[in-house]
């Protein structure tokens, strides 16, 4: 049994790390947020003064921007990618180390990592130099360190740093805090919950200040960020959306709800039923449920929803397997469940990988793509051009194009030229991965104001004439 599992586990780990090294370090593909973050990092000095007094841009703590700015100082974008790859790799290692700390068998530690690898989100991190991986690495490292009496205070500091980098990592703090209270409840010593809570809060606050020192001088900034990126109300159908959605967002990126990013809902229900008989360590499960509840509230109160809001729960969820009795039946059960999850998620995993590879192929043919665009423009006068082409190609998706298609019934005087026709250069990759673009260019949407007429194409681009169907206003 062990030999068979190792025969699957080791090659899969190597494939996973090889692919992510390719996706994070080798390829030159950028996504929109990366461009925004990199540009922000350029203006961020790596000096102490700037670090202490800088605002948390986009809601992310100065520690994140400071790390980016150091890499930028060396004028090498690949360093940022390498850092992200490192965060991801060490987070996977930490899942294994947590299993050791909790006294788990090698089979269970392997199962925990395999569970993580069966998630589509594990293969398709969209913002590959975003703050998520740094925040999660700090949070998971914090939980691991909190499991030892000698290092638990350092763990709480790390957890606070994680929260300071990105606020949704409060889920990891809650998980760590509840787990410690449960451990205290099960201990034979004195159970002073108030004292323990105060010490955990104090160390976490220290970590938060390390990530976001501007809070001391101007706490209003943090609260304004929470208000800016928040929403005061939500409906019950929002909960269904964040749990079960399956759609696309910018750059053809698959934007899934929790279950479509992790485990098939039916497999989840099977695990739940199985847990009624085989659960032995309620501490982990209880901590996870409470963390899940608070993160759900946080996501529901956000102004919009994106998959990576769930990352704290996604990264923590493989640890749940450590809650079960380690016996033959449990091993067989989880072996089957993990295998089925790989099968159910194969298509999504493949799409995420394929999307990245196709983006790189377009960039490899950048000279030909840009020559085609310039030649077409030279031969077509009195034309208003719009672009939605792979990031890394000049021109890339522009605000002008976003306005044209995202505000279809608003008068657009800036982008409207008298007597000129409208032409859209659209990357074929978006047509392959984004159903909304497919429906749009095939004139299937009832409310679209343009009909699309294909007038030219390149290996990586289709050129459409936009024929206005409705008056705006």
Give 336-343 contacts, CB < 8 A, sequence gap 24+. Answer: 337/267, 337/270, 337/271, 338/111, 338/114, 338/115, 338/118, 340/264, 340/267, 341/115, 341/118, 341/119, 341/263, 341/264, 341/267, 342/117, 342/118
Kindly state the DSSP code that residue 403 receives in the 8-state scheme. Answer: H
**Does residue 382 or residue 273 have the better pLDDT?**
273
So what's the pLDDT on residue 230? 56
Give the Cα separation of 314 and 332 in Å (integer): 23
pLDDT, tens only, 403-445: 777 654 444 444 444 446 899 999 998 888 887 788 888 888 7
The total number of residues written for the chain in this structure: 473
pLDDT, mean of residues 434-458: 86
Reduced to 3 states (helix: H, G, I; strand: E, B; else coil), residue 44 is coil
- How far does the chain reach from its first CA to its final CA, in angstroms? 68
- pLDDT at 236 > cutoff 70: no
Mean per-residue pLDDT of the chain: 84
So what's the pLDDT on residue 208? 93
Q: Which residue has the tokens 């990891």?
A: 172
Domain chopping of the chain, boundaries: 2-360, 366-468
Rg (CA), the chain: 24
CB neighbours of 211 closer than 8 A, spacing ≥ 6? 61, 62, 63, 64, 160, 161, 162, 163, 164, 165
**Does residue 282 or residue 155 have the better pLDDT?**
155
Give the Cα separation of 356 and 28 in Å (integer): 10
The model's pTM: 0.86
Beta bridge partners of 453: 465
**DSSP secondary structure string, 87-147?**
HHHHHHHHHHHHHHHTT--HHHHHHHHHHHHT-GGGT--SSTTSSHHHHHHHHHHHHHHHT
- pLDDT at 209 > cutoff 80: yes
Structure tokens of 78? 């690949």
In percent, how much of the chain has pLDDT > 90?
A: 40
- 328-364 and 366-378 helices cross at what angle (nearest 10)? 50
Q: How many CB atoms lie within 10 A of CB 263?
A: 24
Q: Are 155 and 145 in contact (CB under 8 A)?
A: yes
Q: Are 245 and 259 in contact (CB under 8 A)?
A: no
So what's the pLDDT on residue 356? 83
Give the Cα separation of 49 and 44 in Å (integer): 11
Is 38 exposed, middle or buried (CB count within 10 Å of its CB: 0-12, 13-18, 19+)? middle
- Pairing label, strands 254-256, 246-248: antiparallel
* Of residues 138, 140, 204, 146, the one with CA closest to residue 165: 138
Q: Are 151 and 145 in contact (CB under 8 A)?
A: yes
pLDDT, tens only, 334-347: 999 999 999 999 98
pLDDT, tens only, 55-106: 667 778 888 888 887 776 766 677 888 888 899 899 999 999 999 999 999 9
pLDDT band at 207 (very low <50, low <70, confident <90, very high): very high
pLDDT, mean of residues 9-20: 90
Give the Cα separation of 157 and 208 in Å (integer): 8
CB neighbours of 332 closer than 8 A, spacing ≥ 6? none
Q: Are 149 and 160 in contact (CB under 8 A)?
A: no
CB neighbours of 469 closer than 8 A, spacing ≥ 6? 448, 449, 450, 451
- State which of 76-85, 130-139, 395-404 shows the largest mean pLDDT: 130-139
Q: How many CB atoms lie within 10 A of CB 149?
A: 7
So what's the pLDDT on residue 224? 61
CB neighbours of 335 closer than 8 A, spacing ≥ 6? 5, 111
């Amino acid at each position: 049994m062990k030999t068979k599992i190792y025969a699957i586990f080791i090659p899969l780990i190597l494939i996973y790390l090889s692919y992510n090294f390719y996706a994070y370090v080798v390829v030159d593909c950028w996504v929109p947020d990366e461009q925004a973050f990199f540009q922000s990092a350029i203006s961020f000095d790596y000096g102490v003064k700037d670090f202490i007094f800088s605002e948390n841009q986009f809601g992310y703590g100065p520690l994140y921007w400071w790390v980016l700015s150091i890499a930028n100082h060396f004028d090498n974008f690949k360093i940022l990618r390498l850092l992200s790859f490192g965060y991801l790799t060490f987070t996977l290692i930490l899942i294994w180390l947590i299993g050791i700390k909790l006294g788990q068998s090698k089979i269970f530690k392997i199962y925990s990592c395999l569970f993580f690898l069966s998630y589509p989100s594990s293969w398709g991190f969209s913002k590959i130099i975003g703050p998520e991986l740094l925040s999660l690495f700090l949070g998971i490292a914090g939980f691991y360190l909190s499991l030892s009496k000698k290092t638990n205070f350092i763990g709480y500091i790390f957890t606070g740093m994680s929260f300071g980098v990105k606020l949704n990592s409060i889920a990891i703090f809650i998980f760590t805090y509840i787990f410690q209270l449960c451990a205290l409840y099960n201990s034979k010593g004195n159970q002073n919950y108030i004292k323990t809570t105060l010490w955990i809060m104090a160390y976490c606050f220290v970590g938060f200040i390390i990530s976001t020192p501007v809070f001391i001088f101007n706490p209003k900034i943090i609260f304004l960020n929470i208000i800016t990126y928040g929403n005061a109300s939500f409906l019950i159908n929002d909960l269904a959306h964040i749990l079960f959605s399956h759609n696309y967002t910018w750059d053809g990126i698959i934007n899934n709800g929790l279950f479509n990013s992790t485990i098939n809902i039916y497999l989840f229900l099977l695990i739940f039923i199985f847990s009624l008989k085989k659960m032995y360590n309620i501490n982990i499960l209880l901590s996870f449920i409470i963390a899940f509840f608070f993160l759900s509230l946080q996501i529901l109160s956000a102004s919009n929803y994106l998959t990576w809001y769930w990352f704290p729960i996604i990264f923590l969820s493989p640890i749940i397997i450590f809650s079960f009795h380690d016996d033959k039946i449990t091993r067989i059960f989880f072996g089957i469940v993990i295998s089925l999850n790989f099968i159910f998620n194969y298509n999504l995993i493949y799409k995420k990988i394929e999307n990245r590879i196709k983006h790189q192929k377009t960039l490899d043919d950048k000279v030909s793509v840009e020559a085609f665009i310039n030649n077409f423009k030279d031969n077509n006068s009195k034309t208003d051009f719009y672009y939605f082409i792979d990031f890394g190609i000049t021109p890339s998706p522009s605000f002008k194009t976003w306005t044209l298609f995202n505000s279809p019934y608003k008068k657009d005087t800036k982008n409207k030229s008298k007597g000129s026709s409208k032409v859209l250069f659209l990357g074929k990759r978006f047509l392959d991965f984004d159903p909304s673009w497919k429906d749009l260019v095939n004139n299937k949407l009832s409310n679209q104001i343009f009909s699309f007429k294909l007038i030219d194409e390149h290996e990586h681009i289709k050129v459409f004439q936009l024929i206005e169907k409705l008056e705006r206003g």
